[in-house]
Every structure is written in structure tokens, then in C-alpha cells.
């Protein structure tokens, strides 16, 4: 009679024949397995006060993914697990992980013969409390991003997103299959993907003032005195000219971060810049060098007689002395620290003479204007993604801008300048204006005859509808065969979302037309 033991022996022999009688014979036990990252990335929240971020939350972070797996015939899944590890850590059966989670493990005396854990991608997740290394990286991300925004002239006003941490945590998935007779080693498929962590930088809290200060406690830093000096103090000559403004800031206290800017006649010539003052530092120096001309001076500057006459003497060609001095201009240094705001002023003289020497051409049988350059523009202008011929209109949308600042939106632009004359031109400027205020300046341009170049850059536009003027050879440095084809206008409409605190009013371009000159 066939015994139960005999039947078990026969079954074992059959399985050995199918699976291989020795562990040296390779047996494919995993039919398929896969894993991918899914859902929103975990978020670590960073806080601070005053001028820096210092703390990252230690709340548990949850990492989401999807996975699937199936064993081949006559095998079963014995373990399905996921883990978190440091980058470059190889998945293995050990406890050397940031976090470990056995999703399912089958050890039931070989009674369960299931082959499929999941035939389609199945949600999985694992939670972990971030360690000090990750928290420190999140704090650095917020401080670096804040410094970058301040340097770009757009300091953060509230919450913002830091740079995501992409090199801190690896998410691993492990799918294991075993034979039913346990005569061959189990086969394990491991998957590992980098799992980013989003960084949320909260609004910096103000430093809480202490009502009663102990004698040993230091008082907050205080701005005691400011001074600013213009160099040169009295200038008369050809413009534009480089003016240097030097400021001195006297402080007392434990140190801190200040923000400062320079203004000329009430108009900002720089955005706010930041500077850290060390504890115990008393005197701090700041400076800026700015190229100024008549457009940067007070409104009365235009009334100053400008010398355009040339006289001949034995010393050669010289400019006549100006009829009068320019009015006094004003430079302002503005400094802010927490709730403190201080300003200092200095006065200087800027008398711009637009000196221009006529081209001395030989008499070659009436050849005059035929051998002169002639600059103009033919292709129109492009702002953001919108284009138009000169004299037309452009309506901009938020998608046309590269960034938004408290003073308006930033947009890329380009327009062409072409020399249709018979001679080369060099050393001239092209300028864009909004209601007389400079938007962009392209310096020292060169155009050979029949040559065309694109003038491009970035301009700051406040909300509103207004004309923009482009002027090629703006300072009239080049004698041209046609002086009446250098100024072009376009009307732009900027959405209210750009802000800027002002709505510019259309005004005629203030650039004076050049009077015809007699040729010698």
C-alpha cells in the first residue's frame, strides 16, 4: 500500500526535476517586478527670525511610490518590502537603512503558493523623521534662496519655495520569490530611485523686543550718522560722464544687515543692496559709479545753454565756453535697517556739453551726404512674445514677462538698427525711454554701411498703457545724411498684476532734434 510518506517523496522528486536538484543550477523565480516614484514629494518646513533661517521641522515625512511583482510558476513571493537609505547605499537585507517597512512576508510552512503580489502598479508609502543632515540642508536652501532674491533686487515679502533637496534620500523597493522546496536560494529584485524633498521657507518672524533689558544684554544695532559725497563735485564737459558717489554709515550695537540705495534728484539709480555689518563695527563704506548725462539731472537741466559751436584757432578745433553753469544736482544715500530709515544728501554740478565735431570730408566734386552714414530701424520691436511695427501697439500678458518685482514686470526686448548710408558709423548710443525716463541704454555701438544689428536686453515695465520711445544715435554723436529717421515709438499695455505703484502718463519724447550743420 502506498503510504503518505511515499507520496510526499514522489512529489518532492517531481519538484526537484522541475526546479533543479542543486543550488548551482540557476532558476528564474521572479517573473516581473517594478517600482516608480508617485504623488507629491514630502515637504520640510523651515522657519527663522530677523534676517536668517535657523530651524527645520522634524515632523515625519511620507514618501509615496508605486510597485508590482509576480513570481514564476512553482514559486511564491516570500517578502515584499520598501526602505529609505542614503544616496549610493546598496539595497540589501540588513538594518542599515534610514527607515524600513516589510509590506508583506509569507512564512507559513510552504502552504501559501501565491505567485502574484500585484499585477498592476500598487501604491506604497513609507514615513521617516528627517535627521540633522537633511534639516541642515533645508535651512541652507532657504538662506541661499533668500540671498539670491535680495541680490536680484526682489527681496521676499513672505513665504517662498527653497531649492528642493534632490540628493538626500533614496527610496528602495524589494521583491523576493522562493521555491516551494527551499533547495535553491531565494531570488530578490531591488529597485532604488532618488526621492526629492520639497523645502517650504516660511516668512521670517520679527525679532521680539525684550521689555526689560539686563545690563549685560546688547541693544539692537542703531544707525547713528550718514554722509554721502559726489565725485567730481563740479563737472562741465562732454556727457555721459562717470560720477562716483561714496557713502559713510556710522552704526553702533551688535551688528546686523542693512539695505541701502543711491538716488539722483529723487530717482533711484540703484536698487536696494544688502550689506552685513559685524558686531562692534563703527564705520562702513559703500559706493557706486554711475554714468550720468542730462537725462539723469534735475528738470531745469534742459534750460542750461549747451555748447554746440566750434571755433578755429591756432591750437585746432575747440569748444567755446558754456554760456552758464548747470543748476545744482542732488545725490541721496538711503539706508534701512528693521524699522529705521535714514538719508543723507550732497549737492553737485553737472553741466553737460554735447560737443560734436563735424566730419571733415574732402571736396570730391559735390560728394557730401552721399558719403555719410544714415542710421534707422526697419523691422519694428519685439517685447516678450509680442511683436509690432513701429507706430503700432503691443498688449502684454503675464506670460510675456520673466519676473515680477515691486516696481513692475521684467521683459526681454529686441529691435534692429541698420546703417543705410554710404559710410561707417562708430561710438554712438541708442536709448529707450518711458515718459522721458531711461529704460535701456546701448553704449558705443558700431555699424558699418549696409550693416544691421539687433539691440536687445531687459526692461522693467509698470502697469498701465503708455508710449515707449527708441532713439538711435540718441546723443546725436554722428552726422548723418538724414537726421529725421532716428526716433521710433510703440504703445504698450501692461497688466495691473505688474504693479509698480504708478501709472505713467504719455508725454512727448524730450530728446531735442539736431539742427542741420553746415559742412566745411
* Model confidence pLDDT, tens digit, residues 465-517: 999 999 999 988 888 989 889 999 999 999 998 987 554 444 444 444 444 45
User: In angstroms, rounded to a whole number, what is the distance separating the alpha carbons of residues 166 and 19?
Assistant: 43
DSSP letter (8 states) at residue 203? P
211 vs 71, more confident: 71
Grade residue 252 by pLDDT with cuts at 50, 70 and 90. confident
Element at 382 (helix H, strand E): strand 381-383
**SS3 assignment, position 432:** strand
328 vs 324, more confident: 328
164 vs 240, more confident: 164
17's grid cell: 526535476
Per-residue pLDDT at 299: 47
**SS3 assignment, position 133:** helix
* pLDDT at position 261 over 80: yes
Whether 339 contacts 497, CB under 8 Å: no
Torsion sign over Cα 208, 211, 214, 219: positive
409's grid cell: 514686470
User: In angstroms, rounded to a whole number, what is the distance separating the alpha carbons of residues 460 and 458?
Assistant: 7
What Å distances lie between residue 318 and 153, 321, 323, CA to CA?
44, 9, 15
Per-residue pLDDT at 520: 40
Of 34-38, 158-162, 278-282, 501-505, where does mean pLDDT reach its minimum?
501-505
| Strand 43-49 relative to strand 75-85, pairing | unpaired
Grade residue 108 by pLDDT with cuts at 50, 70 and 90. low
As a whole-number percent, the residues of the chain with pLDDT over 90 amount to 44
Per-residue pLDDT at 186: 87
**Among 169, 177, 183, which residue's Cα sits nearest to residue 80?**
177
Per-residue pLDDT at 331: 92
User: In angstroms, rounded to a whole number, what is the distance separating the alpha carbons of residues 299 and 295?
Assistant: 9
* pLDDT at position 355 over 80: no
Grade residue 76 by pLDDT with cuts at 50, 70 and 90. confident
Per-residue pLDDT at 294: 63
**SS3 assignment, position 497:** helix
Q: In what order do the strands lie in the sheet with 30-37?
A: 30-37, 61-71, 116-128
Element at 146 (helix H, strand E): helix 132-151
Element at 132 (helix H, strand E): helix 132-151
417 vs 95, more confident: 417
User: In angstroms, rounded to a whole number, what is the distance separating the alpha carbons of residues 124 and 139?
Assistant: 29
Give bridge partners of residue 242 from the DSSP assignment.
Answer: 291
Grade residue 224 by pLDDT with cuts at 50, 70 and 90. confident
Q: Prior bond to 232 cis, omega within 30?
A: yes
Residue 293: what are its φ and ψ, rounded to 5°? -145, -160
Q: Give the mean pLDDT of 34-42.
A: 94
Average pLDDT over the chain reads 80
182's grid cell: 527551499
* pLDDT at position 54 over 60: yes
Q: Give the mean pLDDT of 268-285.
A: 86
Of 11-20, 28-37, 305-314, where does mean pLDDT reach its minimum?
305-314
User: In angstroms, rounded to a whole number, what is the distance separating the alpha carbons of residues 312 and 197?
Assistant: 75
User: In angstroms, rounded to a whole number, what is the distance separating the alpha carbons of residues 71 and 158?
Assistant: 53
Grade residue 175 by pLDDT with cuts at 50, 70 and 90. very high
Find which of 31-40, 251-260, 268-277 is predicted with most confidence, using mean pLDDT: 31-40
Element at 4 (helix H, strand E): helix 4-19
Grade residue 80 by pLDDT with cuts at 50, 70 and 90. very high
| Strand 198-201 relative to strand 43-49, pairing | parallel
Grade residue 215 by pLDDT with cuts at 50, 70 and 90. low
Q: Give the mean pLDDT of 311-331.
A: 51
User: In angstroms, rounded to a whole number, what is the distance separating the alpha carbons of residues 26 and 308?
Assistant: 96
- C-beta neighbour count of 442 within 10 angstroms: 18
| Grid-cell match 526602505, residue found | 83
Q: Give the mean pLDDT of 271-288.
A: 87
Per-residue pLDDT at 507: 41
User: In angstroms, rounded to a whole number, what is the distance separating the alpha carbons of residues 381 and 387?
Assistant: 6
Per-residue pLDDT at 75: 86
Per-residue pLDDT at 477: 87
Amino acid at each position: 500500500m502506498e503510504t503518505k510518506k511515499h507520496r510526499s517523496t514522489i512529489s518532492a522528486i517531481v519538484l526537484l526535476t522541475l526546479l533543479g536538484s542543486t543550488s548551482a543550477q540557476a532558476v528564474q523565480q521572479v517573473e516581473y517586478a517594478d517600482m516608480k516614484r508617485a504623488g507629491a514629494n514630502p515637504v520640510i518646513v523651515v522657519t527663522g527670525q530677523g534676517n536668517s533661517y535657523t530651524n527645520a521641522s522634524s515632523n515625519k515625512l511620507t514618501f509615496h511610490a508605486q510597485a508590482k511583482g509576480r513570481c514564476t510558476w512553482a514559486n511564491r513571493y516570500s517578502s515584499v518590502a520598501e526602505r529609505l537609505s542614503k544616496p549610493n547605499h546598496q539595497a540589501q537585507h540588513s538594518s542599515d537603512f534610514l527607515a524600513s517597512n516589510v509590506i508583506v512576508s509569507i512564512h507559513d510552512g510552504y502552504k501559501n503558493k501565491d505567485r502574484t503580489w500585484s499585477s498592476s502598479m500598487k501604491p506604497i508609502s513609507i514615513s521617516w523623521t528627517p535627521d540633522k543632515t537633511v534639516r541642515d540642508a533645508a535651512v541652507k536652501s532657504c538662506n541661499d534662496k533668500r540671498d539670491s532674491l535680495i541680490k536680484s533686487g526682489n527681496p521676499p515679502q513672505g513665504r517662498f519655495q527653497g531649492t528642493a533637496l534632490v540628493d538626500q534620500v533614496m527610496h528602495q523597493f524589494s521583491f523576493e520569490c522562493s521555491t516551494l522546496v527551499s533547495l535553491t536560494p531565494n531570488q530578490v529584485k531591488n529597485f532604488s530611485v532618488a526621492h526629492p524633498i520639497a523645502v517650504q521657507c516660511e516668512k521670517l518672524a520679527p525679532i521680539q523686543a525684550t521689555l526689560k533689558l539686563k545690563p549685560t544684554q546688547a541693544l539692537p544695532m542703531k544707525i547713528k550718522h550718514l554722509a554721502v559725497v559726489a565725485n567730481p563735485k563740479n563737472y562741465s564737459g562732454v556727457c555721459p560722464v562717470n560720477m562716483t558717489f561714496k557713502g559713510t554709515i556710522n552704526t553702533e550695537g551688535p551688528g546686523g544687515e542693512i539695505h541701502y540705495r543711491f538716488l539722483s534728484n529723487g530717482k533711484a539709480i540703484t536698487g536696494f543692496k544688502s550689506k552685513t555689518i559685524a558686531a562692534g563695527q563703527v564705520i562702513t563704506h559703500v559706493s557706486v559709479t554711475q554714468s550720468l548725462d542730462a537725462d539723469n539731472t534735475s528738470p531745469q537741466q534742459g534750460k542750461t545753454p549747451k555748447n554746440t559751436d566750434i571755433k578755429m584757432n591756432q591750437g585746432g578745433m575747440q569748444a567755446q565756453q558754456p554760456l552758464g553753469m548747470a543748476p545744482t544736482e542732488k545725490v541721496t544715500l538711503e539706508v534701512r535697517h528693521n524699522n529705521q530709515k535714514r538719508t543723507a544728501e550732497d549737492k553737485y554740478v553737472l553741466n553737460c556739453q554735447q560737443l560734436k565735431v563735424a566730419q571733415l570730408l574732402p571736396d570730391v566734386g559735390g560728394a557730401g551726404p552721399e558719403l555719410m552714414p544714415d542710421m534707422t530701424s526697419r523691422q519694428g520691436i519685439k517685447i516678450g512674445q509680442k511683436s509690432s511695427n513701429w507706430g503700432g501697439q503691443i498688449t502684454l500678458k503675464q506670460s510675456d514677462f520673466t519676473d515680477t518685482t515691486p516696481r513692475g514686470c521684467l521683459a526681454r526686448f529686441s529691435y534692429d538698427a541698420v546703417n543705410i548710408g554710404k559710410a561707417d558709423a562708430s561710438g554712438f548710443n541708442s536709448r529707450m525711454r518711458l515718459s522721458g525716463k531711461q529704460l535701456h541704454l546701448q553704449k558705443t555701438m558700431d555699424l558699418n554701411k549696409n550693416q544691421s544689428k539687433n539691440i536687445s536686453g531687459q526692461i522693467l515695465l509698470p502697469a498701465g498703457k503708455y508710449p515707449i520711445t527708441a532713439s538711435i544715435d540718441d546723443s546725436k554723436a554722428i552726422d548723418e545724411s538724414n537726421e529725421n529717421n532716428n526716433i521710433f515709438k510703440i504703445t504698450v499695455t501692461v497688466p495691473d498684476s505688474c504693479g509698480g505703484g504708478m501709472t505713467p502718463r504719455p508725454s512727448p519724447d524730450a530728446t531735442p532734434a539736431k539742427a542741420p550743420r553746415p559742412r566745411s
